[in-house]
Amino acid sequence: MEACENVMMMNSTQVSHFTLAAYFDTGVFKYLYFLIILTVYVLIVSANVLLIVIICMNRSLHEPMYLFLVSLFVNQLYGSALLFPFLLVQILSDIHTVSAAVCFLQIFCLYSYAGVEFFNLAVMSYDRYLAICYPLQYNTHMSCKRVAFLIAASWFPPFLILATQTPLTFSLQLCGNIINKVYCHNYSIVKLACSDTTVNNIYGLFTSWITLISLLTLILYTYMKILRVCFSGSKQTRQKALSTCTPHLASLLNFFFGCMFEVVQSRFNMNSVPSMLRIFLSLYFLTCQPFFNPVLYGLKLSKIRHALCLHRADSRQGWK
């Protein structure tokens, strides 16, 4: 009885570490998983850095759409840097624990990454709306100051929201320290609370729904306008709209599917699903989005393809 009372009195400042229970013994296969994750991480870093360098070095790509892509790629490097090294260490470790400080830092960084990704995608849909629906006024609307403001608006709100939400979770009284994930997860920690979580729930729901509704409304409105122009415009207009909007739509769908997998896993009992599949689905939007976007935009946008070809040709001449 006394031991139970001691556990009930634990709070997040007294919990020195959390145990990540989603890991399982893979034996010698852990080295194979390590190599797979390391390869994916190297490919993500290489692809994102390459496109950032290509866009920054080519003056012909210093347009709003490509500057927003740079913001997107930088955010993907930021999110990947906070996840992949952590996964690599945990895969090789026999004891899957993480200190409380590192755990809350990871929560802050990964959730802010997801928020910035969503804001970036919403800003990019607004940019495509102006380019297709108001092509003659596009340069006026998308001035350098407006682009800088929109990029700042993509980064600032998620960090502000998480700067309040993370301390709220940190202050909860906890009845345990076992998280059924392969990385630190805010809702999993909230479920461990034996104190009142009303403030956390209200703040989380309020900020999530306000963000979701406002950004989804912006995205749906812009694409309704784009579709209207496509159906009423010429064949050339439709082709231009499709060529510029297809990568963005594919990126949006990929992001939403990844988030949906994560929400379903967190809120519902998934014990009947194989553990490997659960891990893959929980990591989907954190791994596939940074890998998927550079490949998609690099292949689909003709200016980037042309710049990549020039860069490759210059590299070959340099070697000669």
Let me know if residue 174 belongs to a domain: yes
Interacting residues of 259 by C-beta distance below 8 A, sequence separation 6+? 114, 285
Q: Got the DSSP string for the chain?
A: -HHHHHHHT-BTTT--EEEETT----TTHHHHHHHHHHHHHHHHHHHHHHHHHHHHH-GGG-SHHHHHHHHHHHHHHHHHHHHHHHHHHHHH-SS-EEEHHHHHHHHHHHHHHHHHHHHHHHHHHHHHHHHHH-TTTHHHHS-HHHHHHHHHHHHHHHHHHHHHHHHHHHTSBBS--EESSSS--HHHHHTTB-S--HHHHHHHHHHHHHHHHHHHHHHHHHHHHHHHHHHHS-HHHHHHHHHHHHHHHHHHHHHHHHHHHHHHHHHS--TTS-HHHHHHHHHHHHHHHHHHHHHHHHHH-HHHHHHHHHHHHHHHHHH-
Per-residue pLDDT, 227: 84
Let me know if residue 1 belongs to a domain: no
Per-residue pLDDT, 218: 93
* Block residue for tokens 């042309």: 306
Let me know if residue 5 belongs to a domain: no
Q: The CATH number of the domain where 36 resides is what? A: 1.20.1070.10
The one-letter code for the residue type at 9 is: M
Per-residue pLDDT, 319: 47
Q: Which domain holds residue 284?
A: 14-315
Let me know if residue 9 belongs to a domain: no
Per-residue pLDDT, 8: 40
Which residues sit opposite 237 in a β-bridge?
none
Per-residue pLDDT, 45: 95
pLDDT tens for the chain, 320 residues: list them: 344 444 444 444 467 789 898 887 777 788 888 999 999 999 999 999 989 998 888 888 888 989 999 999 999 999 999 899 999 999 888 888 899 889 999 999 999 999 999 999 999 999 999 988 888 888 888 989 999 999 999 999 999 999 998 888 888 888 888 888 889 988 888 888 888 888 888 898 899 899 999 999 999 999 888 888 877 767 777 777 777 788 888 899 989 888 888 877 777 777 777 777 888 888 888 888 898 898 888 776 767 767 666 655 555 555 44
Domain count, the chain: 1
Let me know if residue 7 belongs to a domain: no
Per-residue pLDDT, 195: 82
Let me know if residue 185 belongs to a domain: yes
Nearest to 262 by CA among 167, 155, 183: 183
Let me know if residue 3 belongs to a domain: no
Q: Got the DSSP string for 213-273?
A: HHHHHHHHHHHHHHHHHHHHS-HHHHHHHHHHHHHHHHHHHHHHHHHHHHHHHHHS--TTS
Kindly report the three-state secondary structure assignment for every residue of 185-216: CHHHHHCCECCCCHHHHHHHHHHHHHHHHHHH
Name all contacts of 230-239 with Cβ < 8 Å and 24+ positions apart: 230/132, 237/132
Cα–Cα distance measured from residue 285 to residue 266, given in angstroms and rounded to the nearest whole number: 14
Tokens of 200: 């956390």
Record the pTM. Answer: 0.87
Let me know if residue 4 belongs to a domain: no
